[in-house]
Chains A and B, each alone.
Chain A
Amino acid sequence: MTLPKGFGSGGGGGAGSADVEKMIGRRVENMTGMITLSYIAAWLATFGGTAAGYFFYPWAYPTPSGHYAFIVLTLVEAIGYLFCVKVMQEGTQKNSNGIIAVTLAGTAIGTVAIVMFVGH
């Protein structure tokens, strides 16, 4: 196997496990933190976007309509988040079910709280 410059032992050999690790960089199963933060950021941005609708254009976007869009989009994002973490960790020993459960429960409670108390 031909390896890129800087990899391998410089003749014969092939890729050792250190080379393979260097080529991989951060492993996908260790990206749960970044994926979780991205999901929360996307969820907050969704709240900001829908809130802009019912605070600045109330004649066109009644608050219940904005909340409905917020709920649907939260579901879309939650499914995407779940897929991301579970697919990245399948076939490995890593397990972040606790983080997923806390994050999804947190955003679910947050969504209900926002729908009940914001924009009325």
Chain B
Amino acid sequence: MAQMPALLPKEVEIQRLKKIWLIVIAMGSTAASVEVDNFVDGSLHQTSIRDSAFTPAHWWLYSHFVTLPLGWAAAGMYDRKVPILRGPNNSINTGLKMTILGYLATMFTIGVNEMWHFWFVEEIFAVPNHWMFNMGVVVAFMGALAYVVRVYARLVELGAETPGENPYVAEMYKMALEGKLYSRSIP
């Protein structure tokens, strides 16, 4: 993607990108909290196997899998105010799209998982209904990384952030600005 002409004053764009940054930090903290609960929930399942869906570890885990897609969707709604972050054909940014879809998958997996455990009252880590949680999170993380790098690269371009000193990292930001980080055609 070639450099786009400025569509809004620089100061306005920096403020909007930083508001996106606030949502990203909140979502990152939430994702870190899920990682803590992975251990809490795994610990409980080693002790009690599965007595009920309504355990504190599940309230904790499942509430995040509703919060994360909704929070990233809020980022997606606000993201429309920054034209340079738009995806192909003026759609939602590709990284953001992947993040929302990934976490939506985990949200629907809550239902799939409970249906599975209605019949199979075990907690074997490797059962297929659990794969969907992990695959959704991996897709979401990949998308979030692409989006965060894009936002950061734009802040660097606007002079609001300092570019990375490591030449390899600096090269990555340069490629992101040119739209070549993970595709030549998808911004």
Contact present for A84 and B15 (CB under 8 Å) = no
The reply to whether the CB of B62 lies closer than 8 angstroms to some CB of chain A is no
The distance in angstroms between the C-alpha atoms of A59 and B12, with both chains bound, is: 54
The reply to whether the CB of A56 lies closer than 8 angstroms to some CB of chain B is yes
Contact present for A57 and B36 (CB under 8 Å) = no
Q: Closest A residue to B22 by CB, please name it.
A: A84
| Chain A positions within 8 Å of B57 at CB level | 53
Which residues of B line the A interface, CB within 8 A? 6-9, 11-12, 15, 18-19, 21-22, 25-26, 28-29, 32-33, 36, 40, 43-44, 47-48, 55-57, 59-60, 160
Q: From DSSP, what is the main secondary structure of chain A's interface residues?
A: helix
**Shortest beta-carbon distance from B62 to chain A in Å:** 12
Contact present for B36 and A76 (CB under 8 Å) = yes
Contact present for B18 and A23 (CB under 8 Å) = no
Contact present for B25 and A73 (CB under 8 Å) = no
Q: How many residues of A contact B (CB 8 A)?
A: 33
Contact present for A83 and B44 (CB under 8 Å) = no
Contact present for B56 and A28 (CB under 8 Å) = no
**Shortest beta-carbon distance from B97 to chain A in Å:** 24
The distance in angstroms between the C-alpha atoms of A24 and B81, with both chains bound, is: 11
The distance in angstroms between the C-alpha atoms of A66 and B16, with both chains bound, is: 38
The reply to whether the CB of A69 lies closer than 8 angstroms to some CB of chain B is yes
The distance in angstroms between the C-alpha atoms of A80 and B151, with both chains bound, is: 18
The distance in angstroms between the C-alpha atoms of A90 and B170, with both chains bound, is: 21
Contact present for A76 and B22 (CB under 8 Å) = no
